[in-house]
Structure 1
Amino acid sequence: GAVRRAATVGGNIVGSTLRCLLPAALVLDARATVLESHSVYDTDLTELLAKRHVLLALRWRAPLVSGYRKLEGEAGGPPPLVVATAVHADGDSPRDLRVAVRDGYEVFSECTPYDPDPEQVLHALAGTDLGALPAVARDAVHAQITDVLARVAED
C-alpha cells in the first residue's frame, strides 16, 4: 500500500499526502481519466483530488519550456518545498506562465500572462497566494521563473 501510494505518478498525486508531482501536473495543465463505479471519464485535477477516484491515466499539454525543483528536506521533518513552472503557447508565441508550489502539505498554483521580464511576472504574482509564501519559498519561485524565462528566450 505505501509503495503504491508514493512510488507511482498516480499514487503520488492521489494517494499520498506528499504529492511531490502535483505541482508539475498542475503547471502542465494535466487532465485525468478516472474510474467511477459505473463509468470512465475525464476530469481536472481539482475534482480528482476532491473525490479521490481511481486514476487510470494522465494527459498534459506539452509546454515550450518547463522546470521543477525540489529543495532538500530534513529527515522526519515537513515535506520539502517543491516549485514547478511551465510556459505554454498558442502556436509559436508564448501565452502564459504557470507556477505551482508545494509548501509543507499545501499546494498553491497560479497562472499569469507570459512576460519575458521575470520582475514583471513576479510583480503579477505578488498579489496571489504565491506572494504570501515564506521568503525561502519566494526565492525558489523567483529562481525557477528566472530560469524558465531565460530558456524561453534561448529557443
Structure 2
Amino acid sequence: MAKRKSMQADACPVARALDAIGERWCLLVVRDAFDGARRFGDFQRRLGVARNILADRLRLLVEQGVLAVQPAADGTAYQEYVLTAKGDSLFPLIVALRQWGEQQLFGAGEAHSQLRDRQDGQPLAPLLPRAADGRLLGPADTVVVKLADKA
C-alpha cells in the first residue's frame, strides 16, 4: 500500500485532524475506548480487525496523545489503553458521527445502536453548531478566516 502524504503541516484544522485520527480504524478504536474497551484483545474482539492493523492504529493513537498506555488495573502483566484528555475531547466528534449515521444511513425501523443518557435513558439531543450567543448556525452563516502566524 502506498504511503499517504502527511497533512500535519497543512493550515486547515480539518486536514490535520483527519491526518491524526481520520482513518476509520482509529475512529472505531476511539469509539470502543469510550464504550469501555481497554486491552488489545478487547479491541480486536469488538472490531474484528487484523492484529497488525490494530497494533499500528493503537501505536498511532498513543503517538498522537489520544490514548495512553498504562499497566492493567487488575495487576496482571497486561497493559491497557486509556483515553487521555485529548482523547476525551473527541467525544463530541464521535457523537456527531453517530447522530449523522443514525439520521442518514438507516431506514425507518432498521435496527441500529443508539447512544443514550445514562441518567434518564433518553437519546441525546442533536449536536448542532451554535454561535457564541446561542443562535443555531448553518453553513451559510459561517466563514473560514485564515489566521496569521504569530512567530
| TM-score over 0.5 (shorter chain) | no
Shorter chain as denominator, the TM-score bin is under 0.3
Higher-Rg structure is 2
Q: TM-score, normalization: structure 1?
A: 0.25
Q: In proportion to residue count, which structure has more helix? A: 2
Task: Give the strand-richer structure, 1 or 2.
Answer: 1
